[in-house]
Structure 1
Amino acid sequence: MRLIQSFLLIGLVALAGAKKHPAGIVLSVPIMPRIPSQAKHNEVLQARSALSKPDASAIVSTTCLDTNQVIDAHDEAEAQLSICGGMPGSIQACQGAPSKTEGRARTALFSLSVGSGDSIVITKQLWLRCVHAARSACPTGSLSAVCAGGASSGGNVAFTLTKP
């Protein structure tokens, strides 16, 4: 009897939170509580930062621009490897030596540039370390940073991450 009472109580609680049609028909019963998007976003950021410690020597400076911009972590990762025409798989450095390049994926846009007469020759490893270090300083929203090195003259590469 107690088991039946428990099931009835659980059912009543579920129905109290259910979406109902004007005719009184139950349309859906929530199984799990909804987690707000921002909470999910911050959870992903915390998990990412727990993977490894950022290398602060990879960046010269970082400025957080708009911490309220929501840039999807998957889009950011995809855009990160889209610079220089793409650096997936075995490609280990920026190809073509451009003076400016962009990496874009839905909610994320990386824009990179170097000084006059210079070209971008940043390696994938340095680029990933640089973005990881910048993200540790600005875990949410858009940012602007300068990578230590990555230019053909040995100079630095400036970049921004924004929501297009």
Structure 2
Amino acid sequence: MLSSTMILQFILALAAVCLAAPQYLHLAPRVIVPQSHYEVLRMRASTTVDPSAVTGVNNIVFHDLNVAELGICGGIAGKITKCGGAPATTTGQSGTALFKLNAVNSGATINISKGRWEQCIRAARAVCPTGSMSGTCIGGASAGNVAFTLGNP
């Protein structure tokens, strides 16, 4: 049988866990979705669609995007922190997604770090939440910036 002291200890321990939990919630990554993304979703939801009006549509699958993102430079997943081999161009491909990168300045090579590359793609997705895109990562080359495109292979 549980004593009243044991029940009280359990309640106090539970309260301590509940009070401590919010300080750890900030560790989870926060994704900020721009209002324009919701506006596009509302527009699509309110429009009738005839699927037979189109053929040969290619999309980019989210998982393929993530694998292709880490596939640049021969693979920068895991502990690898920079693009190795000093290429002027590189690609990362998986299934429906293909990243193409090139150093913007003539004669420059790509030495982008994994962190800078991931930050660049997150920033690009804030502007262009879905589908194909292109842009320029600030820095990431031996001299200057790195241009990228994301599309289908």
TM beyond 0.5: yes
Using CA pairs under 8 Å that are at least 6 residues apart, name the structure with larger relative contact order, 1 or 2. Answer: 1
From 106, 112, 122, give the equivalent of 2:112.
122
From 143, 150, 154, give the equivalent of 2:133.
143
Aligned length: 101
From 104, 118, 124, give the equivalent of 1:134.
124
- Contact 1:99–1:120 at 8 Å: present in 2 too? yes
In structure 2, C-alpha distance between the alignment counterparts of 1:86 and 1:143, rounded to whole Å:
21
Matched, 1:163 2:142: no
In structure 1, C-alpha distance between the alignment counterparts of 2:102 and 2:111, rounded to whole Å:
11
1:69 Cα deviation from its structure 2 partner: 5.2
**RMSD over aligned Cα, in angstroms?**
1.7
- The structure whose residues are more often helix, as a share, is 2
Q: Which runs of 5+ in 2 are unaligned?
A: 1-28, 34-56
From 89, 92, 96, give the equivalent of 2:85.
96
From 109, 113, 127, give the equivalent of 2:98.
109
The residue identity in structure 1 corresponding to 2:126 is S
The range that moved more, 93-102 or 133-142, is 133-142
In structure 2, C-alpha distance between the alignment counterparts of 1:157 and 1:109, rounded to whole Å:
16
The residue identity in structure 1 corresponding to 2:101 is L
Give structure 1 regions of 4+ aligned residues with deviation exceeding 2 angstroms. 50-54
In structure 2, C-alpha distance between the alignment counterparts of 1:107 and 1:52, rounded to whole Å:
23
Which runs of structure 2 are paired with 1:11-160 in the superposition (5 Å)? Answer: 51-53=30-32, 70-114=59-103, 115-153=105-143, 155-160=144-149
Secondary structure of the 2:149 match is: strand
Secondary structure of the 2:93 match is: strand
Change (3 A) 1:51 1:69: farther
Q: TM-score normalized by structure 2? A: 0.62
The residue identity in structure 1 corresponding to 2:114 is K
In structure 2, C-alpha distance between the alignment counterparts of 1:95 and 1:145, rounded to whole Å:
22
Secondary structure of the 2:119 match is: helix
In structure 1, C-alpha distance between the alignment counterparts of 2:126 and 2:114, rounded to whole Å:
18
Change (3 A) 1:97 1:53: farther
